[in-house]
Amino acid sequence: MKSLQYPIKSDFDATSTATQVMGNIDLTDKLAVVTGGYSGLGREVVRVLLGAGASVIVPARDIEKARHVLAALPDVRVCAMDLADPESIDAFANLLHQEAKPIDFLINNAGVMAMPLTRDRRDYEMQIVINHFGHFQLTARLWSCIKEAEKPRVVCLSSGAHRFSSIDFDDPHYFVRPYNPWQAYGQSKTANALFALELNRRARDYPMLAFSVHPGSILTDLSRHLSLEDMQAMGFRDEKGEISEEDKYRFKSVGQGAATTIWCATSPLLENIGGVYCEDCNIARSVSVDWKERNGILPWACDLENAERLWQLTEEQIGVNFEI
């Protein structure tokens, strides 16, 4: 299969906002499900989708917090769901099945980053549970609604941090190797990219397209687990605890950070392209393992064999058979 992982001519770039990307696109009568839609980038994605006429459902672990944050967007529907709880995911999906409405956009946006070692009741490492396993199960359970839409799209939030780690297929949950929060985060973000790649391949007989997204560096609640020392070690803060002048240009506003998600969900330029990892409102280019910049996608995150192997591992570990 020829790789499509190279930039195309886009009308937008790293400075574009989600509102600009949406432009005059009309999403009347379209339905979107946005995980993490009540915080940071997710809330901005919800706002812009609503502004284009879409109906939006936000599944939330903390219902009261979600309703409070989304109070200024009264047309949003908030439903209970916890990505770390398989039964909760099934209950949310069953609710939508009963309503039998096609889902035009599934935005797998929620996530955690660089958290201390935490395990779910299955003893699985929590970053891969929330960032990948939960979204895999949610997409599988909603598939019957997604495939009924005219031209549905699934967008998975990955990150440039995928460069921190490939998938350790022998020890994904750190039962043997020492736990490293950034390595675990990188592994989960690699998983997001590989999931979109394999989902798009398996659904090739449907008009569905799947994408993974690096939104860029944005200061949101996702960094809540990071200490000042963590951010200094990553180069996000200088010795004074401030963003250095040379790094300020790297950070995007929330509107700019949400732009690539909206671009992947709605751009007509992508109608015949899927399974790709995108950044700055364009398809990212494939780069080598020794690439020093923070852009591009590394080989292990766009490898077809890795993608298929991860799909099989995920099905086995969470007990979900995702038949397409």
Q: Answer yes or no: is pLDDT of 1 > 50.
A: no
Residue 117 is given by DSSP the state P
Q: Which of 185, 206, 249, 277 is catalytic?
A: 185
Q: What is the pLDDT of residues 3-62, one digit of tens each?
A: 689 999 999 999 999 999 999 999 999 999 999 999 999 999 999 999 999 999 999 999
Quickly list H helices, the chain: 18-22, 40-51, 63-69, 86-99, 126-128, 134-146, 181-202, 228-233, 254-257, 259-266, 304-318
Cβ–Cβ < 8 Å for 48, 25: no
Q: What is the dihedral of CA 305, 202, 34, 306, to 10 degrees?
A: 0
185 is catalytic: yes
CA gap 26, 31 in Å, rounded:
12
Any idea how long the chain is? 324
Query: Domain 18-225+252-318 belongs to what topology?
Result: Rossmann fold (3.40.50)
Q: Strand, helix or coil at 159?
A: coil
Query: Global pTM?
Result: 0.92
Say what angle helices 304-318 and 181-202 make with each other, to 10 degrees. Answer: 100
Cβ–Cβ < 8 Å for 18, 44: yes
Sequence ranges of the domains in the chain: 18-225+252-318
Q: What is the pLDDT of residues 140-185, one digit of tens each?
A: 999 999 999 999 999 999 999 999 999 999 999 999 999 999 999 9
